[in-house]
Amino acid sequence: MNHLVEISRNLIATCLGIKENEQLVIVTDEDKRPLAEALYQAGKQLGAETVLMVMKERQKSGQEPPQAIAEAMKQADVAICITKHSLTHTQARKAAAANGTRVATMPGITEDMFKDGAIAADYNEVKRLTEVVTQILTNGKEVRIEKDGYKLQFSIETRYGVPSTGMYLEAGQSGNLPSGEAYIAPVEGSANGQIIVDGSIAGIGMVDEPHLLTIKDGRLIDVQGPVADRLLQTLGENDGRMLAEFGIGTNHKARIIGIVLEDEKAFGTIHIAFGSNITFGGTIEAGVHIDLIVNKPDVFIDDVKVLEKGSFTFSS
């Protein structure tokens, strides 16, 4: 525990800039409570007014926390959400950030992830690259992803890229820890084509074999692969099947380990997600948000290749 507290101290001091007497709210569930306890002790040692709030485990990523927790997040200077399922794409997270709270979400994080992998990155370098990729997304109009002979296209015109840098030092900044991605909400209904998912799927883990997804007019209409039924059941029959996100990993230390918090940050990967995107520039509010990781694709933005087999074509 002492080692975890030391890591937690460094993390919240460096990435969240916690100050003495600031109000720090740590939101957790029973699954992640042991790690949350380390963050709680670290916050106290750094002189913050630290509160640990334990809720019932959510059923899926994107599901809202209880209102009491949402309100506490909104009133805090800093909120850390260390839970089994993600609170990143919830109205509670969005409202807290809008009210000036610095928010870090850590869905699915493990003790191994605390000690190694993406957490160990140089976050100044992650921030630099993430901001470059974010600007490319913001300037773009059309995305095309190609892999293994399949192609998926969609519009990002009028949408703004979102940086998840791992550095949340100013009021209202928020994102994942560990971090390192730039992402954007595709224009709803614009996506058509097929894509191979061969990395991992949020809530399911690493995939044993590639899955082929077919998307028509922005909606997932078919999945071929061993966990197809499980994925579709999680997404539900309604707007959970709408394409919600396109993201690019920017963390050289991140690994594909079957936990999407780290997987989607891995350098050389991109990810798409289905479900809610209203919290980052889209219009879908589905009560679910599921990310899927793709290894080493080719990516074109406005017909300019920006990723070739997962590597940036510009100096990164």
Q: Say if CB 77 and CB 103 are below 8 A apart.
A: no
Q: Which helix (H) or strand (E) holds 41?
A: helix 33-45
Could you read off the pLDDT tens digit of each residue along the chain, which spans 316 residues? 688 999 999 899 999 999 999 999 999 999 999 999 999 999 999 999 999 999 999 999 999 999 999 999 999 999 999 999 999 999 999 999 999 999 999 999 999 888 888 988 888 899 999 999 999 999 999 999 999 999 999 999 999 999 999 999 999 999 999 999 999 999 999 999 999 999 999 999 999 999 999 999 999 999 999 999 999 999 999 999 999 999 999 999 999 999 999 999 999 999 999 999 999 999 999 999 999 999 999 999 999 999 999 999 987 6
Quote the pLDDT of residue 137. 98
Place of tokens 């079957």: 258
Q: Say if CB 8 and CB 111 are below 8 A apart.
A: no
Quote the pLDDT of residue 316. 66
List the Cα angle 219/220/226 in 5-degree steps. 175
User: Amino acid letter at 47?
Assistant: G
DSSP letter assigned to residue 117: G
Quote the pLDDT of residue 82. 97
The segment(s) of the chain belonging to CATH 3.40.1830.10 are 2-115
Copy the structure tokens of residue 56: 């019932």
Quote the pLDDT of residue 301. 98
Nearest to 198 by CA among 188, 209, 190: 209
Strand 142-147: give its sheet, edge to edge: 219-224, 211-216, 192-197, 150-155, 142-147, 298-301, 304-308, 311-312
Give the span between the Cα atoms of 285 and 90, in whole angstroms.
9
Quote the pLDDT of residue 195. 98
Q: Say if CB 144 and CB 152 are below 8 A apart.
A: yes
Quote the pLDDT of residue 1. 66
Give the span between the Cα atoms of 51 and 187, in whole angstroms.
39
Quote the pLDDT of residue 120. 84
Class of domain 2-115: alpha beta
